[in-house]
Structure 1
Amino acid sequence: MTELPPWEPPFNGTEAEAIFGALDRQRVTFRWKAADLDEKGLRATIPSSTMTLGGLLKHLALVEDLYFHRKILDEPMPEPWASVDWETEGEGYDWRTAAEESAADLYALYDAAADRSRALVAQIMEQGGLSSPSNATLPDGTRANVRRVLMDVIEEYGRHTGHADLLREAVDGRTGEDPPWPA
């Protein structure tokens, strides 16, 4: 059998392996699109948008922690999010404040959040897996299962990895679907 890149989901895995594998492929692809830039590169925009790769790094770090800690496991948010006064800071805090951070800090923030989420997979599976109820609810109290919440995370990555494609190409011309392999 041909060796697959390490970010590929298994060809014949379980449902959980396929879902978590698809999410990890999105993470790896996004991280490659945003990799190895300085502050100028992370703050670059394109004419039609104020979105930046730095903003995407910080936003997806928030998404990782929000979905895995709060929406799936009903646990408190870790720092730096726990200290944010969301009532005062309002919508878009993650996007706005990214421009104030160094490239090293943005990469570290994103990498730590993704690592925390990966580390929670075993806990999620021990607590009932994909079919177990999450903390995400509809206004009537209906709870989504973990599977549904993970699909939202994959969708979020899909959307923002597309944004990262455009932004990265504008910064330095990097294009491509996947990181180079073999690395």
Structure 2
Amino acid sequence: MDEDERPEPPLDGDEAATLLGFLEFQRATLAWKCAGLDAGGLNATVGASAMTLGGLLKHLAYVEDDWFVHCLLGEDRPAPWAGVDWAADRDWEWHSAAADDPSELRRLWQSSVDRARRITADVLHERGLGAAAARPLADGRRPALRWILCHMIEEYARHNGHADLLRESVDGATGE
């Protein structure tokens, strides 16, 4: 663990341990950036952007479920995603987060992360990093678990940069 209680990725791990180590570090960074904030803090914006930390939590909860449950396993998206009219609002998770209780946003994100961890462990054990997703992408290709993990690291790293700016605007907290 580093000084902010985030798990350090292994320096000499195998491929799976390294990928999972970096994903867990990025997940812990988002949790750290959102920790201790009330609804006002989670709904703060920076500049012209409408992005909020609460929106990030809900978006990343959706992304976890979309890639691991929907794509990798091929199952229907769990609640609350299953009941959303995505045609009416493609960015529903971002827009609806402002009305959600902060503890509910954190719970939703943590539940999605926990579910993704269980799925990843099971698929790794049964089929390895090369396991193809059950549900193909729009172009017919099926990403491997390895690709999904790399994509999730990228997704968190990009949004954690946003989280840095948003958190600093709320209370001045800075850090990696």
- Residue of structure 2 in register with 1:122 after alignment: 121
The 5-angstrom pairing of residues 30-179 of structure 1 reads 30-88=30-88, 90-134=89-133, 135-137=135-137, 139=139, 141-177=140-176
SS at match of 2:143: strand
Higher RCO (CA-CA < 8 Å; seq separation 6+) = 1
Structure 1: gaps spanning 5 or more residues: 178-183
User: Following TM superposition, where does structure 1 have runs of at least 4 consecutive aligned residues deviating by more than 4 angstroms?
Assistant: 3-6
TM-score calculated relative to the size of structure 1: 0.88
Q: Structure 1 stretch 118-127 or stretch 53-62: which is displaced more?
A: 118-127
TM-score calculated relative to the size of structure 2: 0.91
Contact residue 44 and residue 52 of structure 1 kept, 8 A? yes
Contact residue 8 and residue 21 of structure 2 kept, 8 A? yes
**Structure with greater strand share of residues:** 1
Instruction: State the aligned residue count.
Output: 173
Identical-residue share of aligned pairs (%): 46
Structure 2: gaps spanning 5 or more residues: none
How well do the aligned residues superpose, as a CA RMSD in angstroms?
1.6
SS at match of 2:87: helix
Q: CA separation of 1:6/1:166 partners in 2, compared to 1, >3 Å: closer, same or farther?
A: closer
Contact residue 6 and residue 29 of structure 2 kept, 8 A? no
Contact residue 54 and residue 102 of structure 2 kept, 8 A? yes
Kindly provide the CA deviation profile for residues 15-73 of structure 1, in whole angstroms up to 9, marking residues without a partner as x. 01111111010000111011110001011111231100000010011011111111212
Contact residue 6 and residue 28 of structure 2 kept, 8 A? no
Kindly provide the CA deviation profile for residues 68-113 of structure 1, in whole angstroms up to 9, marking residues without a partner as x. 111212122111112223233x310000000111111111111111
Deviation of 1:6 after TM superposition, in Å, equals 5.7
SS at match of 1:133: coil
Q: CA separation of 1:20/1:81 partners in 2, compared to 1, >3 Å: closer, same or farther?
A: same
Contact residue 19 and residue 150 of structure 1 kept, 8 A? yes
Contact residue 136 and residue 149 of structure 1 kept, 8 A? no
> Which residue type is aligned with residue 125 of structure 1?
L
